[in-house]
Structure 1
Amino acid sequence: MKYKILEHPNSDEAYDLVHEALRKRATITIFACCKVNYEGRALSELNWGERIIMIKPDGTFLIHQEKKVEPVNWQPPKSKTRAYIKNENLFLESHRRTPKELLTVEIRQIQFINYANIEDFEELEQAGYEKDMGDMIMDKPHMIEEGFTPTAREYSVEHGFIDILGKDSDNNLMILELKARKAGVNAVKQLKRYLLDFENTENDYLRECQAQKKKIRGLLVAPSIMDDALEMIEEEGIEFVSIEPPRELKRDKKVTLDAF
């Protein structure tokens, strides 16, 4: 199930949905009356009031009031969430190990609760930077590796566009995903999805690759990569190439980043 919504659930129903969502690594949203306690680098208490609670698959835990952009309470990624029922109310705990922090939310009078398995592999692109990075690679393909020959750009697949298609010196097919900033897990997932899309779609590149019994290589190209993303590419058999994007953007007028 892609998403699930309950209106005015009781605590048991809400607990079951939270437990299911955490197991599925889905994003959870709750609109309810709640009370919040925080223990960690300080102590705080937020008495009863109607608020929006959001829990993300990376462990981020947010509590929003009706005003302001920032959450009134929050826990960062990699926090651990658990749910339980006490005195007929639903409790949510977000625990962080280093530094030691505990955010406890007691919930009653739930208006609605839902979860959604969100698929979003894009990262914010600033000033067309990744396009300029692609232009640079097309002009100087040896930056990827000696013998690399680009054959197509913005190749359409089911879930988006492959940045650059090409072949290596052994005629193996290469699928490149470009990121102008430090690449994270989402970038790896995005490339993996593109690889699956490509392999599951009939096309001339795939037929030629199969006829010649050549490999399909996935390459994540970025200035650097996060540790968890590095672990994931090793598990998925994806390669990483470190390339710095151009410092000068190609526009009608040349504008360097220093100008900002």
Structure 2
Amino acid sequence: MRVVIARCSVDYEGALQAHLPLATRLLMVKADGSVLIHSDGGSYKPLNWMAPPCRMTELTPDEEETEQGVESVWLVRHGKREDTLRIRLHEVLSDTSHDLGVDPGLVKDGVEAQLQALLAEHISTLGEGYTLLRREFGTAIGPVDILCKDSSGATVAVEIKRRGDIDGVEQLTRYLELLNRDPHLAPVQGVFAAQVIKPQARVLATDRGIRCVTLDYEALRGMDNAESRLF
């Protein structure tokens, strides 16, 4: 990974146009070719980015850019669309590269992993007649926590979280989009299951036709007789 801190401006052209005026920012170039532009704020989300497949070329600034104080230009082109990022570097404060090696991937915490195992064992928690197909069903963007069938034989994808927020709903939405491309599985319905589901996540899920299920961890473990609450 290449990490650069520089005073720069950024112009994006594609489905829309966007401009970041001159400021000091963090630029990241990852091994997969993606380029991300961050500010010192806004949590984890970049101000702008280009996802792979894309290619970055470092150019000499043109005459007008040189007059404006531009020292170098990064031109990032998407491999399948006409989208481009033009990053004009006025001053490079730091430029380092690091080999991060092979990442082992995200390891879910104990409670979430146990929720998945317990729900798979007691899949009828989702409804009478549900049957388990597979845990950690692989897709091109990651594994779906649980793939099962409902009482009518329709395929259901289940995403499990301890605390269900909007990001979890977005993640399940992406899985459903991929799964529904497979004629052997489609149509695939979605279930968003968590111990606590935030109101905004519930609204978004409902709007997208995704059913929300609130899980009782202790009940699933058999430590009490309370039934999981279905919404």
TM-score (normalised: structure 1): 0.47
Closer, same or farther in 2 for the Cα pair 1:21/1:226, shift >3 Å? farther
Q: CA deviation at 1:138?
A: 2.3
Q: CA deviation at 1:221?
A: 0.6
CA distance in 1, matches of 2:4, 2:18: 13
C-alpha contact 1:188 1:232 (8 A) present in aligned 2: yes
C-alpha contact 1:183 1:226 (8 A) present in aligned 2: yes
CA distance in 1, matches of 2:145, 2:24: 33
C-alpha contact 1:166 1:175 (8 A) present in aligned 2: yes
CA distance in 2, matches of 1:235, 1:163: 22
CA distance in 2, matches of 1:16, 1:138: 48
Q: 2:205 aligns with which of 213, 218, 233?
A: 233
Between the two proteins, the alignment pairs up a number of residues equal to 153
Q: CA deviation at 1:246?
A: 4.6
2:162 aligned with 1:164, yes or no? Answer: no
Aligned to 1:186: 167
* % identity of equivalent residues: 22
Task: Report the secondary structure of 2:158's partner residue.
Answer: strand
Q: 1:148 aligns with which of 130, 151, 158?
A: 130
CA distance in 2, matches of 1:30, 1:169: 53
2:42 aligned with 1:56, yes or no? Answer: yes
Aligned to 1:196: 177
Task: Report the secondary structure of 2:25's partner residue.
Answer: strand
CA distance in 2, matches of 1:227, 1:174: 23
C-alpha contact 1:220 1:239 (8 A) present in aligned 2: yes
Point out 4+ residue stretches in structure 1 off by more than 6 angstroms. 57-61
Aligned to 2:158: 176
Closer, same or farther in 2 for the Cα pair 1:56/1:29, shift >3 Å? farther
Task: Report the secondary structure of 2:40's partner residue.
Answer: strand
Closer, same or farther in 2 for the Cα pair 1:15/1:157, shift >3 Å? closer
Closer, same or farther in 2 for the Cα pair 1:248/1:228, shift >3 Å? closer
Q: CA deviation at 1:175?
A: 0.7
C-alpha contact 1:150 1:167 (8 A) present in aligned 2: yes
C-alpha contact 1:182 1:224 (8 A) present in aligned 2: yes
Aligned to 2:87: none
Q: 1:30 aligns with which of 17, 25, 31?
A: 25
Task: Report the secondary structure of 1:135's partner residue.
Answer: helix
C-alpha contact 1:133 1:246 (8 A) present in aligned 2: no
- Matched to 1:163, the amino acid is D
Closer, same or farther in 2 for the Cα pair 1:9/1:186, shift >3 Å? same
Closer, same or farther in 2 for the Cα pair 1:60/1:225, shift >3 Å? farther
Task: Report the secondary structure of 1:182's partner residue.
Answer: strand
- Matched to 1:159, the amino acid is I
The answer for unaligned runs of 5 or more in structure 2 is 27-37, 48-67, 69-89, 94-104, 222-231
The answer for unaligned runs of 5 or more in structure 1 is 23-27, 32-51, 62-87, 89-108, 113-121, 210-214, 250-260
Q: CA deviation at 1:59?
A: 8.2
